[in-house]
Structure 1
Amino acid sequence: MNLARFPRRRYTPGFTPIEFLPHLTALLGGPEIWIKRDDLLGLAGGGNKTRKLEFLVADALAKGADTLVTVGAPQSNHCRLTLAAAAKEGLACRLVIEERVPGTYSPDALGNNLLFDLMGAQSIRTVPLGADFAAEMAIEADVVRAAGGVPYLIAGGGSTPLGALGYAACAQEIMAQSFDLGVAFDHLVVASGSAGTHSGLLAGLTALNAGLPITGINVRRPRAEQETNVHKLAETTAQLLGTPVPARETVVALDDWVGPGYSLPTPEMVEAVRLLASREGVLLDPVYSGKAMAGLIGLVRRGHFKTGERVLFLHTGGSPSLHAYARDLRDPALNA
């Protein structure tokens, strides 16, 4: 797998840590639980989108772009990090925000919405659930061109074959760290949303013949739909890399922990966020990593992972949005 032939901007010096979680492991009483700290990636607040943007922004710069245009939900980590990359590179950035739950975007909200303002979004425009993202970004691109600029459009989550290369690179990183640590992992668990992270890992691990199965924890869609999306993007990512296409049966994206919908809190998510914060000092987010960890905890309690196995959880970041969910996450006993 030769990633060196693709232009790349580096926003993180070195590898992100892999750490053992002894207190969570002891509490759950099953497999060893480890964590890959992609919440510590570079750019403002870190998170998985940074890896994708390393390839996407390099492409934008190579094409002479002066403005990044992208889309996301309210409290979008992807929008936050795209803005951060734009600021770092001296580019403008325009956002299209899809209100997947009506009325959930407020320019006055804390969390990532505050950071959109601080990092100088040139434009923030909201659209309803189901809007045609390509058409909406084209509108923004036309505005940029009319002003004499050069736009570069980035799909939601940076989840294109080029963006997914960031997690093919992460697959290489995980295997190198596994060797250095002398720890062979039996399972990898990751949030599965716009599919770029899940698909990139799948393509990369397949190319490396790693034999490390991935369990995706879906945060938005029904399982069948999400698994189809993941496999399609893994296929096109593998084709870009020139490596074997992952088999369809290797794609798992469980939907048991989505709850009432994307970004909507669940008791299991709240438990997971509070457990990791109080037992390990690790901050998860309510939308992605919190629900993914809820899935991992649920699978341990079901006996899905065997005692003594080593499970690696990929922390996709997102903690800057925690403040926007304070009412859902606080312990009621503290306010009694």
Structure 2
Amino acid sequence: MSADSRTPHRAVLGTWPTPLEPMPRLARALGLGADDLWIKRDDLTGLGGGGNKVRKLEWTCGVAQSEGATVLVTTGAPQSNHARLTAAAGARLGLDVVLVLAGAPGSSNSGNLALDGLLGATVVWAGDAALDAAAREVAARLRQQGGVPALIPFGGSSVLGARGYVECGRELLAQAPDLAAVVVAVGSGGTMAGLVDPLGSARVIGVHCGAVDDPVRTVSGMVSGLSGTPCAPETLRVRLDQVGDGYGVLTEQAMAALTLTARTEGIVLDPIYTGRAMAGLIAAVEDGDVVSGQRTVFLHSGGMPGLFGHAATVAKAEAALTASKS
């Protein structure tokens, strides 16, 4: 990252460094050596159920605080992990939170939506409207009412928010100096971008989850902003083969990855992000992009509460339980 004497204010929200743990049984199941596969536990970041968004929110909320914000406004899908953790950050910092979510209320308020309510957030349903425009309208209304809103970007991902994953990359270099590759879900792009800054593009494998239209250019833009020099999109390693029928739709590969990880290591992933990322890692082993004899790290970016709001995943998990008892 380029030197900057005007370093933004950073709020303290998480517990660092997060652990780096071996996954020998999963490694052997994939045909790797027992010491080849490790997991960076960013599901254990310590706030509001954990997850990668905490690192980003330390920076975005820190700046919001320094600018006198009284309310955080952000956007997301109904089961957004970022929305949940923005609600938690607001509670920790004494700020109101308004979540502008796509669509309309559904039949279930489980998963992240239940936690949004527990944490005291207000939800505004945007219907089919563009989320950014809806959030700006909410912010304008709050200003008219005397509030000082701060707009937190979708997924917490911006050049500012990505600073959190620059720090994570540095943690990884200290924990695993022999790191050959880190595999990470690509949602809004800030996590991968932050990792590329200290680790270099050759050591970061992103797995596109369908949250943005052009993940490669999204990530390259943030990497360029962090370093101050252009990042050529073609230098990034982004797998595009795990989106399936769309962002919110459970894929067979993700369900298989969820199940294998749970049954070999006792680690629970989510169906949208980390399940797809693990499916991408498995595919990378199969096609020779991840090889035996080198240390590969899977970044667990959290998101487990969202599993309980994803009806298809819950149904498949419960069906497996029924089958095991029959």
- TM-score, with structure 1 as normaliser: 0.88
Query: Which one-letter code corresponds to 2:180 in the other structure?
Result: D
Distance 1:149 1:87 in 2: 17
Query: Higher mean Cα deviation, 249-258 or 64-73?
Result: 249-258
Tell me, yes or no, if the aligned pair for 2:142 and 2:148 is still in contact at 8 Å: yes
Tell me, yes or no, if the aligned pair for 2:208 and 2:240 is still in contact at 8 Å: yes
- TM-score, with structure 2 as normaliser: 0.91
Distance 1:107 1:165 in 2: 37
What residue ranges of structure 2 are gaps of 5+ in the alignment?
Answer: none
Q: Secondary structure at the match of 2:289?
A: coil
How many Å apart are 1:335 and its aligned residue? 7.1
Q: 1:254-282, CA deviations, whole angstroms, 9 ceiling, x for partnerless residues? A: 11111110021011111111111121111
Moved over 6 A (4+): none
Distance 2:39 2:217 in 1: 27
Tell me, yes or no, if the aligned pair for 2:188 and 2:212 is still in contact at 8 Å: no
Distance 1:137 1:268 in 2: 34
How many Å apart are 1:212 and its aligned residue? 5.2
Match of 1:14 among 11, 16, 24: 16
Change over 3 Å in CA distance of 1:61–1:202 after alignment to 2: same
Alignment of 1:213-252 (within 5 A): 213-220=203-210, 225-239=214-228, 244-252=229-237
Q: 1:83-140, CA deviations, whole angstroms, 9 ceiling, x for partnerless residues? A: 00001111111111124xxx7x527421001111111112332332xx4333211111
Task: Verify: 1:145 aligned to 2:143, yes or no.
Answer: yes
Tell me, yes or no, if the aligned pair for 2:202 and 2:236 is still in contact at 8 Å: no
Alignment of 1:73-92 (within 5 A): 73-92=77-96
Alignment of 1:184-333 (within 5 A): 184-206=178-200, 213-220=203-210, 225-239=214-228, 244-325=229-310, 326-330=314-318, 331=320, 333=323
Distance 1:28 1:300 in 2: 7
Q: Which residue of 2 aligns with 1:106?
A: 106
Q: Secondary structure at the match of 1:39?
A: coil
Distance 1:289 1:89 in 2: 28
Tell me, yes or no, if the aligned pair for 2:14 and 2:46 is still in contact at 8 Å: yes
Distance 1:192 1:306 in 2: 21
Query: Higher mean Cα deviation, 245-254 or 41-50?
Result: 245-254
What residue ranges of structure 1 are gaps of 5+ in the alignment?
Answer: none
Query: Higher mean Cα deviation, 320-329 or 73-82?
Result: 320-329
Query: Which one-letter code corresponds to 2:46 in the other structure?
Result: G
Q: Which residue of 2 aligns with 1:125?
A: 125
Match of 2:31 among 29, 32, 36: 29
Change over 3 Å in CA distance of 1:66–1:221 after alignment to 2: closer
How many Å apart are 1:168 and its aligned residue? 1.0
Task: Verify: 1:42 aligned to 2:50, yes or no.
Answer: no
Q: 1:133-167, CA deviations, whole angstroms, 9 ceiling, x for partnerless residues? A: 33211111122112211000011001111011111
| CA-atom RMSD in angstroms | 2.0
Distance 1:3 1:25 in 2: 41
Distance 1:69 1:272 in 2: 34
Query: Which one-letter code corresponds to 2:277 in the other structure?
Result: A
Distance 1:317 1:300 in 2: 22
Distance 2:76 2:52 in 1: 14
Distance 1:226 1:322 in 2: 23
Distance 1:221 1:84 in 2: 22
Query: Which one-letter code corresponds to 2:115 in the other structure?
Result: L
Q: Secondary structure at the match of 2:179?
A: coil
User: Percentage identity across aligned positions?
Assistant: 40
